Amino acid sequence: MYSIALKMLIGDRGKYLGIIMGLTFASLLITQQSAIFTGLMTRTYGFITDTSQPDVWVMDPKVQFVDDIKPLQDTELFRVRGVDGVEWAVPLYKGLLKGRLEDGNFQICNVYGLDDATLVGGPPVMVQGSLNDLRRQDAIIVNDVGANTRLARRPKEPGGRPTPLKVGDTVEINDHRAVVVGICQVTRTFQSQPVIYTTYTRATTFAPRERKLLSFILVKAKEGQDPRALRERIAERTGLAAYTAQEFKDLTYNFFMKNTGIPINFGIAVGLGFLIGTAIAGQTFYNFTLENLRYFGTLKAMGATNGILLRMILLQALMVGAIGYGLGVGGASLFGLAMRGTELAFRLTRELLYISAGAIVIIIVFSAVISIYKVMRLEPAIVFKG
Amino acid sequence: MNGEQTAVSCRGVVKSYITGPTKVMALRGLDLEVRMGELLMLVGPSGCGKTTLISVIAGILDHDEGDCVVFQQDLRALGQGGKTRFRGQNVGFVFQAYNLLPTLTASENVAVPLLILGAGRAKAVARAQEMLVKVGLEDKIRSLPAQLSGGQQQRVAIARALVHEPRLIVCDEPTSALDHETGGRVMEVLRHTALSSDRALIIVTHDNRIFNFADRIARMDDGRITLIESQVASS
């Protein structure tokens, strides 16, 4: 009877394709929009991901997320170093500074100042040059996307191609000369400005004069020390906020979730995909059942039990669900592959595949239940009505 | 007549439908016996209760009062599941509109009753092909219903009604959608293939052109059998 169920389904090409299209659309939209959302949210804490060495991040207690800079006094660094269990603690500057390009244009850049002695917090991947080159005079390292786009030299002729910023080029940061000594790759962040790494001392020289310039203190726990216990101790002893890297990511993630329109915008797109998918697939599947009601009645009259018919409908629903889900997820994956390396944030995780599968299961169960209800209540006497 | 020769025995069968505020009496204490090995035609005006009667006899509809015993089985004593199994094992159906599943080939359509009874697909299809040969459709085994004429579709439906060797065949207006010549051929196939000493046929019809195929004709009016005529059927 299962082969009959499948033949009934596949034989009605129009409806079969309609149901699969609905489910594919739902699966594609749910997976793709969720993946973009996840990618976007992952970018919010991209800098924390890239800065992998410290166990604990120390900052002003009022800081709400990674880009919310509330500088500390330099003396806070020594207080943190004095806490038991601290292996090392280094300063980190993070700020938006104005860079002046060779052609006179200005570009706001995300400048990170690393501890002069250790250069802890440097970029995860060097494309050209080495991190140690930052020790040279006026040295900066620029990220590849920034060097190729916003910091690139404008074409001399209209319609020409811009010339990427390269090692040896100079830029002015806040009226200070800076020489590019390396090109790096960083995780794209929520801010799209070019990223510039330099030393802490040089960054604070670039930055406008302020009483406080220390953005974060990066702390490594001594071997055997629990980072959670250490961050509690630091907070208790200094009155500053201290988070493990994961906690700081969560803080940032939650801030964007609560205080931006991102979740609701993507939620609407995902919800719309779910609703439209349910409407198209549910309606078409129900119509398919209605049109086949005479045949279900015939099967019932010929001795097919409700159990057999139930399993037939479930099999039909399962088949279109599996195909629709596969096509949708496949389409979303191809989309992600095509967009790899572009500005588009796209991160397709295993959890998202489960969520998408769950949504499709809900849609097909809904579609099947209304059809099953109709067939279960069907009087086989319908077959004698001409 | 002893019990073994009686296929169907209806005594005082009452069936009513509730339509809105109105109660419609479809069968009003109907009595009828159908013998093994006979072809009985139920005839009468529209709305006289013919279809209701065969629905009750086939175990598709529950009657309100009276007894309806089919092959010594009181249908009211069976639950819904029991009736469904009873139909699957003992009753073959031929419908006015054929009711062939449009996406299945002729042999797959014929195999359906066997598949419902749990037969393996290969065995069921092989048996279905044998039946199609019997009804003269050996060259249409892989045809879809849409590729067959009305007469051919009805012959597929007859093969489907017979494939699981039921003891009762119930036909609802089997020739009403066919022209006279085709209807006659279908009746010949039905009579020659379906009728045997261990099986009974009940045919509901308006088509007086096929009355000569019946062993007995039961005339119905207003929910009752008004007259039963015996005749020598043409074979």
Q: Find, in chain A, the residue whose alpha carbon is nearest to that of B86.
A: A303
B84·A304 Cβ contact <8 A: yes
Angle separating helix axes A293-301 and A262-291, nearest 10 degrees: 50
CA distance A181 to B22: 95
Residue A200: the pLDDT is 93
Q: Residue A29's pLDDT is what?
A: 84
Give domain status of residue B53, yes or no. no
Question: Does a structural domain hold residue B25?
Answer: no
For residue B148, which of B166, B131, B163, B136 has the smallest C-alpha distance? B136
Residue B5 belongs to a domain: no
Secondary structure E strands in A211-300: 216-221, 241-244
**Look-up: residue for tokens 């159906």?**
B93
pLDDT, tens only, A216-256: 999 999 988 899 999 999 999 999 999 999 999 999 989 98
CA of B80: which chain A residue's CA is closest?
A305
Q: Which chain B residues contact residue A380 at CB under 8 A?
A: 60
Interface residue of B17, B115, B142, B169 to substitute, partner A, most A CBs within 10 Å: B115
With residue A277 as reference, give the H or E element that holds it.
helix A262-291
Buried b (16+ CB within 10 A) or exposed e, B107-131: bbbbbbbbbbbebeeeebbebbbeb
Report if residue B88 sits inside a domain: yes
> Which site among B98, B112, B170 would you substitute to test the A interface, given the most A Cβ atoms closer than 10 Å to its Cβ?
B112
Element (DSSP H or E) covering residue B189:
helix B180-189
Residue B17 lies in a domain: no
Average pLDDT over residues A126-148: 91
Q: Answer whether B77 touches A (CB < 8 Å).
A: no
Give the gap in angstroms from C-alpha B35 to the nearest C-alpha of chain A: 22
The Cα A222–Cα A198 span in angstroms is: 27
Cα A54 to chain centroid distance, Å, stands at 23
Which chain A residue shows the shortest CA-CA distance from B47? A385
Query: Across the interface, do B121 and A3 touch by the CB < 8 Å criterion?
Result: yes
Distance CA B90, CA B115 (A): 15
Domain count, chain B: 1
Q: Percent of chain A at pLDDT above 70?
A: 99
Counting other chains too, the contacts that B190-193 makes at CB distance below 8 Å and 24 or more residues apart are: B190/B94, B190/B158, B191/B39, B191/B233, B191/B235, B192/B235, B193/B134, B193/B135, B193/B158, B193/B162
User: Over the stretch B156-184, which tens digit does the pLDDT of each residue have?
Assistant: 888 898 888 888 989 888 777 777 777 77
Confidence of residue B1 (pLDDT cuts 50, 70, 90): very low
Extract the tokens encoding B149: 């004429």
Helix (H) or strand (E) holding A29: helix A13-44
Residue B160 lies in a domain: yes
Can you tell me the ipTM of this complex?
0.84
Judged by a CB distance cut-off of 8 A, whether residue B25 touches chain A is no
**Helices assigned H by DSSP within A106-244:** 144-148, 200-206, 227-238
Assigned domain for B223 exists: yes
Work out the end-to-end distance of chain A between its first and last CA atoms, rounded to an integer number of angstroms. 25
Question: For residue range A3-44, what is the model confidence (pLDDT) as tens digits?
Answer: 888 888 888 788 888 888 888 888 888 888 888 888 888 888
Domain span including residue B89: 37-48+79-230
Residue B31 lies in a domain: no
Cβ–Cβ contact B17 with A under 8 A: no
Q: What is the CATH number of the domain that holds B146?
A: 3.40.50.300
* Residue among B97, B72, B73, B96 at smallest CA distance from B83: B73
